[in-house]
Amino acid sequence: MNPLFSQPAASLYFGSLSETGFEKILQQQYPHSRFVLLTDENVAEHWSEFMVTGFEILSRAEIIVLPAGEENKNLEICQSVWEALSEYEIGRGDVIINIGGGMITDLGGFVASTFKRGVRFINIPTSLLAQVDASVGGKTGVDLGPFKNQVGLFAEPDLVFLDPGFLETLPQNQIRSGFAEMLKHGLVADAAYWKKLKTVKPENTAEIVPYIEQSVRLKKAIVEQDYAETGLRKTLNFGHTIGHALEGYFLNKENPLLHGYAVGLGIIAESYISLKKGLLSEVEFNEIEAVCKTHFGESLAEKPIAEELLKLMQNDKKNAGGKINFSLLKGIGNCVFDQQVERGLILESLQYLNA
């Protein structure tokens, strides 16, 4: 087996950094390493001082602050980080700590795993989306224009620290964005979990926190069975074929869509396709649509052009043989992958979303 696809899974720590022994772990595992904190301007405002003054081992860490936003997850930004790492004389024995949302953990993991053919890295996700999805599973990468995650590789962090305290400074739209991925986990893998989440009010962060670990465990169980995404792991792409197209379409417009909002809308559209293909019952579809519309139904400031979305989907990295591949629901809690959908039905689902 290609060793790239057989990397040991990251060690996960749930709870506050102090409770999980963050500093002691760093001291034991990296006694002679230098540290670089990679973050964005929003996170730095709230947490940089906390990290360098709260943990002695990080008091001399270099800090690289990037502009915030998905539009900055690109190769140009990567080059600026690689150049900074060279200036700091960072070596393969040193450690990059990615502290931020999914943009930082995706880009930071890619930067670390390609710099000098691989520098160790740690993820400290500060958004709900990153905690339940982006920071776990070994996917790293950056976007190419409107095309999501077109350049990247599988690379595991050494450690992932999931501290719910970081969520305290998140705006409500960021909480809802992460909640979409949690809903997806229930839809593709655990009907009982979906049933619990249906009653959760994501605007109350305290209601979300008890479910973070369960979402991570569900994703981790799938990833461990199919790390290289040749089969089962593709189910985690449910809602993302159309969701990524929506996110890319609005990326440089006046009202960009957060990832989770795009996925929430993608869940509705791809559930519609599942219904029309006879995989999902009408009762289940209505249930899914009602929940997702409650949280994400008002997020489209303008109606996207279906043909332009279709063009974006045609360049999706999950496609094969020139065909657009979907993961679709075969009932709540069950998902099938590598489902080719005819062009007419895709357009119909987009028109339904726009109605």
Rounded to whole angstroms, the Cα distance separating 105 from 111 reads: 10
Report the chain's terminal Cα–Cα distance, integer Å.
48
Rounded to whole angstroms, the Cα distance separating 135 from 216 reads: 10
Q: Which CATH superfamily is domain 172-354 in?
A: Dehydroquinate synthase-like - alpha domain (1.20.1090.10)
Distances (CA, A) of 216 to 60, 121, 137, 221: 32, 19, 9, 9
Amino acid letter, residue 21: G
Q: Which helix (H) or strand (E) holds 344?
A: helix 343-354
Q: Which residue, 113, 125, 142, is CA-closest to 177? A: 125
Domain boundaries, the chain: 3-169, 172-354
Residue count (the chain): 355
Q: Which helix (H) or strand (E) holds 49?
A: helix 41-54
What kind of fold does domain 3-169 have according to CATH? Answer: Rossmann fold (3.40.50)
| Look-up of token digits 């393969």 | 92
> Phi/psi at 104 (nearest 5 deg)?
-70, -45
- CB 248 within 8 Å of CB 320: no
- CB 56 within 8 Å of CB 23: yes
- CB 349 within 8 Å of CB 268: no
Among positive and negative, which fits the CA dihedral 82, 128, 258, 227?
positive
Q: What is the pLDDT along the chain (355 residues), one digit of tens a residue?
A: 333 444 667 899 999 999 999 999 999 999 999 999 999 999 999 999 999 999 999 999 999 999 999 999 999 999 999 999 999 999 999 999 999 999 999 999 999 999 999 999 999 999 999 999 988 899 999 999 999 999 999 999 999 999 999 999 999 999 999 999 999 999 999 999 999 999 999 988 999 999 999 999 999 999 999 999 999 999 999 999 999 999 999 998 888 999 999 999 999 999 999 999 999 999 999 999 999 999 998 888 889 999 999 999 998 777 777 788 999 999 999 999 999 999 999 999 999 998 8
pTM score > 0.85 for this model?
Answer: yes
Amino acid letter, residue 59: S
**Strands 120-125 vs 139-144: parallel, antiparallel or unpaired:** unpaired
**Residues whose CB is less than 8 angstroms from the CB of residue 253 and which lie 6 or more positions away in sequence, other chains included:** 302
Distances (CA, A) of 214 to 72, 192, 202, 232, 275: 30, 12, 16, 19, 28
Rounded to whole angstroms, the Cα distance separating 57 from 54 reads: 9
